[in-house]
Structure 1
């Protein structure tokens, strides 16, 4: 039984490694971050449910963006630049959706910060236009969130908001740590492409 489980886990791991593989090192890094986010997305509503109970139901709708995160490696396989651009843009879309679902008062817009970081790290010096297009997205979303999304689908107590804000701050810090961990600390990425 244990060896069968190990075999299944090894097969899944090998399949994910092959799926995220890309000859473009920046696309490979983008793919890794995208797959970690996609794999963790189902836990977000569960964490929120642990804090606020059934009132967390709108958070389940954030799973609508999970297939988009999971598709980043497939897009990057055909067009590495498009795949790299896709990750922060999908992150922004996910953040805006989350604001609509659970509100600005939860500080869920903090998830736009890793999108800014990714939008600056995923591009080479020769790709400044692509970088500019992508980096504008989280800033534009932040500036337009309040007037565009309207009232959230859920409202919480002051104590629940404090707990949710703490969870979001920890989650964003974890994303920054992940990004720092997977991106090279020395210039290992060929910037001449």
Structure 2
């Protein structure tokens, strides 16, 4: 597999791989924190995981396409996970990482793309926040609170990784 030709795309590809590799671990965290039944209910969060492999695939054909795809894949995954798990679980926190990728993934000469992606992520939040309806999975208040903390920590960790990974990108 060839490496992307620019540092921003390489950073996006590494983030896509990080997410793809870590997605199957999420139900294990849920199992450890809540139990086997909850872990089984959380398996649906893996449904869109294969989409993250699109970024490395696209990077070999279009570096810009890969950098555009990653925040959009994250957006779709976050919206799906929020509908599946429920807003009370804090799944929406991952929108911050999507917006961050939309910003750092593009140099100044591609500011229009970055701005457009940020607006798309923000509008999705504005339109859907509080309007997801009943989650596809049900949780007790205690389970939802545990998932909220897990998702908050995971989203903050992802945002920190994105910041650290892009800190050296010129």
| Count of residues paired in the alignment | 169
The TM-score normalised by the length of structure 2 is 0.90
Match of 2:84 in 1: 101
Deviations 1:143-172 (A, max 9, x none): 122465321012222222221111111111
Q: Larger Rg: 1 or 2? A: 1
Q: Secondary structure at the match of 1:100?
A: helix
Q: Which one of the candidate residues 161, 166, 181 is aligned to 2:149?
A: 166
User: Given the alignment, which residue of 11, 16, 22 partners 1:34?
Assistant: 16
Q: Using the TM superposition, give the Cα deviation of residue 58 of structure 1 relative to its aligned residue in structure 2, in angstroms.
A: 4.0
TM-score (norm: length of structure 1): 0.80
Other-structure match for 1:13: none
2:15/2:162 contact within 8 Å kept: yes
Q: State the partner residue of 1:139.
A: 122
Please, which runs of 5 or more residues in structure 2 have no aligned partner?
none
Give the structure 2 partner of residue 73 of structure 1. Answer: 56
- Residue 79 of structure 1: how far off its partner (Å): 0.7
Report the Cα offset of residue 132 of structure 1: 1.9
1:113-138 deviation per Cα after TM superposition (whole angstroms, max 9, x unaligned): 01111110011111122112211222
Contact 2:83/2:133 (<8 A) preserved: yes
2:65 and 2:93 mapped to 1: Cα distance? 24
- Which of 99, 108, 111 lines up with 1:128 in the alignment? 111
